Structure 1
Amino acid sequence: MSVAHMSEHEREETETREQRALGFWLYLMGDAVIFALLFATYAIMIPGTAGGPTGKDLFDLNNAALETVLLLVSSTTFGFASLSVRTGNRSAVIGWLAVTFLLGAGFVFLEVREFAGMIAKGAGPDRSGFLSAFFTLVGTHGVHVTMGLLWIVILSAQVMLKGLTAPVASRLYRLGLFWHFLDIAWVGIFSIVYLPGLL
């Protein structure tokens, strides 16, 4: 439908969705700045082990690689959910969101297990500046993924109850931006934290 043929109400709704999309882009840019600062802090704190364990002593590349695979595949499954929104296939959207949720939950489980294992070895965030920076950076990402999982549950319920209305589709679009952003942030963590930490 062209803008000229829209009713006043439809024009207002379209404008509202566009404003929310812009607002969400601004939020993501702010989040990117936060992650950039956390990456910079981590890079500065790498030598600050205070005689404690280093990344080489603690990091498990297999675990980090599995986390990476889970998150990258979840980004793909979310892409399939987005394609299903365009075709109006409600059951496919719910199915792909469920798969995305399971992959994301697997990622969070592995991260929590890693943190618990490190703390059990006496390598918690209070052990050194290096570990404090590591837990803050990786933990902040993990909290973001957890919030994304909660958002997936809420939007799945909205798709079931309301269908693929324009407002629901708009929210799914913003969730997609958020989820793919988390993927990009994790690739940075894997490349800057885990790989160099094990070399």
Structure 2
Amino acid sequence: MKIDHSLPLEYQTEENSNRVLGFWLFLGAEIVLFSTLFAVYFTLWNRTGSGPDGREIFELAPVLAETFLLLTSSFTCGLAVHSMRLGLKKPFMVFFLITLVLGLAFLGVEIFEFVTYVGEGATMQTSAFLSSLFVLLGTHGAHVALGLLWGGGLAIQIAREGFNHGTANKAFIFSLYWHFLDVVWIFIFSFVYLKGLM
């Protein structure tokens, strides 16, 4: 195994570089998935039937809370990767666990939001608009939940093994995934919630 010590730990082997490239290709497929979901939503956003539209169900406070939680978690995830590159395990674990806690809080607010919608009679069966909304938000939320499970397992592995070529590569790939979810959320915040509130 050829090691290039001039590169960050997560890129030092050819296998690790190939894994990062493979994950970028996976994110390309994820972009296609979310693009399709956004296209469906934008096609159906005014198909409310007898149900409510965005102005009637969206509330700014939970959306701002979700945005703050997820964007802050992206920042702490970046700090965790920076700590990893400096070989600082304890700061990495602190920042990484903060990232996961913020992600969990985001998911909690989103679930509360869904329960509120359903309590107001805004369900997937109410209209095409709500159906497309629930699918888009639910798909993003499912990705966050998957990320939390993945991150939890990764935190345990790094706590046991420390940083090596394998764990550093996994942590970096996780950070790509987490930042991707943040980018998707920025689009949701801008083009679903803000547009819907107008």
Partner Cα distance (2:110, 2:56) in 1: 17
Counterpart-to-counterpart distance in 1, 2:79 and 2:149: 19
After the TM superposition, which parts of structure 1 deviate over 2 Å for at least 4 consecutive aligned residues? 3-6
The structure-2 alpha-carbon separation of the partners of 1:5 and 1:68, relative to structure 1 and needing over 3 Å to count, comes to closer
Aligned to 1:194: 193
Task: Write the deviation string for residues 84-104 of structure 1: whole angstroms up to 9, x where unpaired.
Answer: 101111111111111001110
5+ residue gaps, structure 2, are 6-11
Cα gap change, 1:62 to 1:20, in 2 (>3 Å): same
Judging changes above 3 Å, is the alpha-carbon distance between structure 1 residues 41 and 89 closer, same or farther for their aligned structure 2 residues?
same
Report % sequence identity: 41
1:18 aligns with 2:22: no
Q: Match of 1:139, as an amino acid?
A: G
Query: Quick one: structure 1 residues 180 and 4, their matched pair in 2 at CA, closer, same or farther if it must change by over 3 Å?
Result: closer
Partner Cα separation in structure 2 for residue 97 and residue 130 of structure 1: 36
CA 1:134–1:157 in 2, change beyond 3 Å: closer, same or farther? same
2:30 is the alignment partner of 1:31: yes
What letter corresponds to residue 85 of structure 2 in structure 1?
A: R
Alpha-carbon spacing, 1:187–1:5, altered in 2? closer, same or farther (3 Å): closer
What is the identity, as a one-letter code, of the residue corresponding to 2:155?
A: S
2:126 aligned residue? 127
TM-score by length of 1: 0.93
Look up the SS of the partner of 1:173 in the other structure. Answer: helix
User: Counterpart in 2 of 1:10?
Assistant: none
Q: Partner of 2:102 in structure 1?
A: 103
Tell me the distance in 2 between the aligned counterparts of 1:72 and 1:41.
Answer: 25
Map 1:72-87 → 2, pairs under 5 A: 72-87=71-86
Distance across 1 between alignment mates of 2:117 and 2:165: 45
Q: What secondary structure does 2:47 align onto?
A: coil
Q: 1:83 to 1:52 in 2, by over 3 A?
A: same
Q: Deviations over 1:157-184 (max 9, x none)?
A: 0111111111100001100000000000
Instruction: Return closer, same or farther for 1:167/1:122 CA change in 2, 3 Å cut-off.
Output: same
Residue 48 of structure 1 aligns to a residue in which SS? coil
In the alignment of these two chains, the number of paired residues is 191
Query: What's the counterpart of residue 51 of structure 1?
Result: 50
> Residue 65 of structure 1 aligns with which residue?
64
Name the TM-score, length of structure 2 as normaliser.
0.93
Conserved 8 A contact 2:4-2:13: no
User: Match of 2:151, as an amino acid?
Assistant: I
Whether the 8 Å CA contact 2:3–2:13 is kept in 1: the answer is no
